[in-house]
Chains A and B, each alone.
Chain A
Amino acid sequence: AQTVTQSQPEMSVQEAETVTLSCTYDTSENNYYLFWYKQPPSRQMILVIRQEAYKQQNATENRFSVNFQKAAKSFSLKISDSQLGDTAMYFCAFATFRNTGNQFYFGTGTSLTVIP
């Protein structure tokens, strides 16, 4: 069975500081994809960053970067220069490909508050 674990239900960070959200997953698959999604109070799901498991280089998107440790099955998200608009629930997600499409697994989320 595939599982995604986010061990930090809530976190806070001062504006302009850096914060790291942790995520671990469990799978026997070799090819898979990892994502971080953001859900602000509007409830809209927004893709933050993605990583393909066969790529060793960590993905970056502006202030967002990941630390992907395949052997440890760890996929943490680092937010630099935190902004008030980063306040949201963050979900780590894992996807495997089946003949009929992608099957997704999400973590339980980390609620991040950016403090002015």
Chain B
Amino acid sequence: EAQVTQNPRYLITVTGKKLTVTCSQNMNHEYMSWYRQDPGLGLRQIYYSMNVEVTDKGDVPEGYKVSRKEKRNFPLILESPSPNQTSLYFCASSLYPGRSYEQYFGPGTRLTVT
């Protein structure tokens, strides 16, 4: 089944404890992206990647890191999480960038930082 998977789905952590949210797609998509969703703010793009080793900042990259060492994986790293990073996170992928190709979204990761 074609899908985008995220792990974990739910995470409660403490301020300053490094964490990684994994994202993997099995559709051989070139483009991948991370978003955060907060009430009243909609979705905001954190980072995106056009292909292996090609990443760029979205609208809200502060406090996050990403890497794209393999085409299928695009992990989101929070080196020192803070409470303002409590949010619902979505990973998405699409076949190619540059066109109106459909983005396939993962199921979301609910992160709480205390």
The CA-CA distance from A51 to B58 in the complex, in Å, is: 22
The CA-CA distance from A97 to B90 in the complex, in Å, is: 20
User: Is the beta-carbon distance between B105 and A45 smaller than 8 angstroms?
Assistant: yes
User: Is the beta-carbon distance between B33 and A104 smaller than 8 angstroms?
Assistant: yes
User: Is the beta-carbon distance between B54 and A101 smaller than 8 angstroms?
Assistant: yes
Query: Shortest Cβ distance from B18 into chain A, in angstroms?
Result: 26
> Assuming the A-B contacts A44-B105, A44-B107, A52-B100, are A101 and B45 also in contact, with contact meaning beta carbons closer than 8 angstroms in the complex?
no
Query: Shortest Cβ distance from B46 into chain A, in angstroms?
Result: 11
> Assuming the A-B contacts A45-B90, A47-B102, A108-B40, are A103 and B45 also in contact, with contact meaning beta carbons closer than 8 angstroms in the complex?
yes
A contacts with B, residue count (CB < 8 A): 27
B contacts with A, residue count (CB < 8 A): 30
Q: Does B50 contact A (CB under 8 A)?
A: yes
The CA-CA distance from A104 to B99 in the complex, in Å, is: 12
The CA-CA distance from A107 to B108 in the complex, in Å, is: 18
The CA-CA distance from A95 to B48 in the complex, in Å, is: 12
Measured between beta carbons, the chain B residues less than 8 angstroms from A98 are 56
> Assuming the A-B contacts A100-B56, A101-B56, A102-B48, are A50 and B88 also in contact, with contact meaning beta carbons closer than 8 angstroms in the complex?
no
Residues of chain A at the chain B interface (Cβ within 8 Å): 4, 6, 33, 35, 43-47, 50-52, 91, 93, 95, 97-98, 100-109
Besides the known contacts A101-B56, A103-B56, 9 further A-B residue pairs in the complex with CB atoms under 8 A apart: A46-B105, A95-B100, A100-B50, A101-B48, A101-B49, A102-B31, A102-B98, A104-B45, A104-B48
